[in-house]
Amino acid sequence: MCGRYALYGNKKRKPAEALQFHGEDIDFPPRYNLSPMQPLPVSVVDDSGRLRLSLMTWGLVPAWSRNPAIGARLNNARAETVAEKPAFRESWRRRRCLVPMNGFYEWQREGGYRQPYYFSLRGQEVFALAGIHDRWRGPDGETRNTFAVLTTAPNTLMAPVHDRMPVIVPASAYETWLDPRNTTARGLEVLLAPYPADEMQAWPVTARVNSVRNDDAALVEAAGASATIGAVLPEPPRQGLLL
């Protein structure tokens, strides 16, 4: 599964530019411990067919749901069944999005302890996960825009840590993934495979990331280099305004 990630951008490029889109700027500060049920930036095609960045709550609430609390359980969607599950299938076909980030966290169980790791791409500061989104309207007129992240089988880098990993969309396929004309999601299954392990890196990080109250740059720094996997240690994260 995917349950935490960091998005802090860099000094040279905003995430929208790194994702090869010309989106509208939105006010979103550097963050290092993003979690479900928070409003977070995603790249979407809006009703007018325009590419833009939008804030949506992480935890998908299907349009037909009677209770929006269901979103707390739907922050991830399995790639193997996303086309079939009632909560996800219409969003999979018609409402796909990209979730920008600098890296994500996963936990490895070591006896009675769970060691957190930080995963990112080599040589690419900002990348995107495959997401789906929906819009829920309540009987009182309330509207909620929400999203979920797709997950798949792990690659060889992720497998020692967890049995699932988020679907990472190659930069060359961003527009293909978002294409609003593809209302059946035809041909997108090939993008749901595990991302190449040799293009990723990971290292253990502090257990402070376990608490969402902690949200600072130190969370993504290596803690215990001897346990590092992926053979590349991180550089200190660059500070800068996002989006």
Catalytic residues: 2, 106
Measure the CA angle with vertex 183, ends 180 and 186; round to 5°: 110
In whole angstroms, give the CA distance from residue 177 to residue 169: 8
Contacts of 127 (CB under 8 A, 6+ apart): 100, 101, 102, 120, 121, 168, 169, 171
Q: Which of 122, 207, 213 is nearest to 168 (CA)?
A: 122
Q: Which helix (H) or strand (E) holds 91?
A: helix 89-94
Which pair of structure tokens corresponds to residue 76?
Answer: 């991830």
Q: Please tell me whether residue 3 adopts helix, strand or coil conformation.
A: coil
Q: How far apart are CA 68 and CA 200, in angstroms?
A: 35
Q: What are the DSSP calls for 202-217, one per residue?
A: EEE--GGGGSTT--SG
- Rounded CA separation 113/25 (Å): 41
